[in-house]
């Protein structure tokens, strides 16, 4: 973990994890050459993570009105670099055009603008809809309805491997950067539900989008982000 002070904090609310195993040969050509796929029992994994951001702000600065809350949908896989394990994002969709503009400065992270709805209906049912409308990008879509159970999941090796990730890598202008993230361990709940439409990660053709995922839910998590580090 970085020894520098953290620079930004967020809260992640109503987080839904959707996970699919996928062959390493399918994913390997889509990550930077410096990274290696992190495998579990010989398989790579791709995950969709959707959540509502609240309290988004830099350190020592109160939340800026209009920029502290938005909905986000990430597509990621699991990678290693020189003994560290973490994640690599294929895309990060958000429903806030200003946030997307700020986070794409210098092409540091692949944020894209999308129309999104995250609605809590009845007591334990949540509906999520997202359609990317970012200029010159494929309109990837996810529509899902899921119902929470009251049971707290006892995490096994796979659940820990998929969720307890504290580094992300991104490559821009020919350089590989790492961002460290700090938060407490995830408290997960089982969920049941239906994916009505899924065209996310459209660069992967007809492999995982129609298969049922492993799904987990977490009510809230507070995270802190550290300054980017250029890898050598």
Kindly report, residue by residue over 28-54, the tens digit of the pLDDT.
999 999 999 999 999 999 999 999 999
Q: How confident is the model at residue 1 (pLDDT cuts 50, 70, 90)?
A: low
The answer to whether 106 and 112 have CB atoms below 8 angstroms apart is: no
Residue 208 gets which letter from DSSP? Answer: S
Q: Is the pLDDT of residue 3 over 90?
A: no
Phi then psi for residue 108, to 5 deg, are -70, -45
Q: Is the pLDDT of residue 26 over 80?
A: yes
Reported as a single tens digit per residue, the pLDDT across 169-184 is 999 999 999 999 999 9
**Total length of the chain:** 232
pTM metric for this prediction: 0.94
Helix segments in 24-103, DSSP class H: 24-28, 97-103
- Class of residue 152 by CB neighbours under 10 A (exposed 0-12, middle 13-18, buried 19+): exposed
CB atoms within 10 A of CB 84: 15
The answer to whether 168 and 89 have CB atoms below 8 angstroms apart is: yes
**Residue tagged 């909905």 (tokens):** 71
Give 39's contacts (C-beta < 8 A, 6+ positions apart). Answer: 24
pLDDT of residue 149: 84
Q: How confident is the model at residue 205 (pLDDT cuts 50, 70, 90)?
A: confident
The rounded mean pLDDT for the chain is 93
Phi then psi for residue 99, to 5 deg, are -60, -45
- Class of residue 13 by CB neighbours under 10 A (exposed 0-12, middle 13-18, buried 19+): middle
Reported as a single tens digit per residue, the pLDDT across 122-161 is 778 999 999 999 988 889 999 999 999 888 999 999 999 9
Nearest to 213 by CA among 17, 13, 14: 17
Reported as a single tens digit per residue, the pLDDT across 70-126 is 999 999 999 999 999 999 999 999 999 988 988 887 789 999 999 999 987 777 899
pLDDT of residue 62: 85
């Amino acid at each position: 973990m970085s020894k520098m002070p953290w620079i930004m904090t967020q809260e992640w609310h109503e987080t839904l994890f959707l996970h699919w195993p996928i062959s390493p040969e399918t994913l390997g050509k889509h990550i930077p050459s410096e990274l290696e796929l992190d495998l579990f029992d010989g398989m790579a994994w791709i995950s969709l993570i959707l959540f509502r951001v609240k309290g988004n702000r830099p350190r020592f600065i109160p939340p800026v009105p209009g920029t502290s809350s938005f909905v986000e949908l990430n597509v990621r896989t699991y990678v290693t670099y020189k003994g560290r394990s973490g994640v690599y994002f294929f895309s990060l969709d958000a429903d806030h055009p200003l946030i997307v503009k700020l986070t794409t400065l210098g092409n540091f992270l692949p944020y894209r603008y999308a129309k999104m709805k995250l609605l809590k209906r009845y007591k334990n049912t949540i509906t999520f809809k997202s359609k990317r409308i970012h200029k010159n990008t494929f309109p990837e879509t996810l529509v899902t309805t899921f119902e929470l159970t009251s049971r707290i999941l006892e995490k096994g090796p796979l659940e820990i491997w998929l969720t307890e990730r504290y580094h992300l890598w991104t490559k821009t202008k020919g350089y590989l950067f790492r961002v460290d993230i700090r938060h407490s361990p995830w408290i997960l709940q089982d969920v049941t539900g239906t994916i009505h439409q899924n065209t996310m990660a459209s660069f992967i053709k007809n492999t995982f989008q129609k298969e049922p995922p492993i799904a987990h839910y977490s009510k809230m998590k507070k995270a802190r982000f550290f300054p980017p580090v250029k890898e050598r």
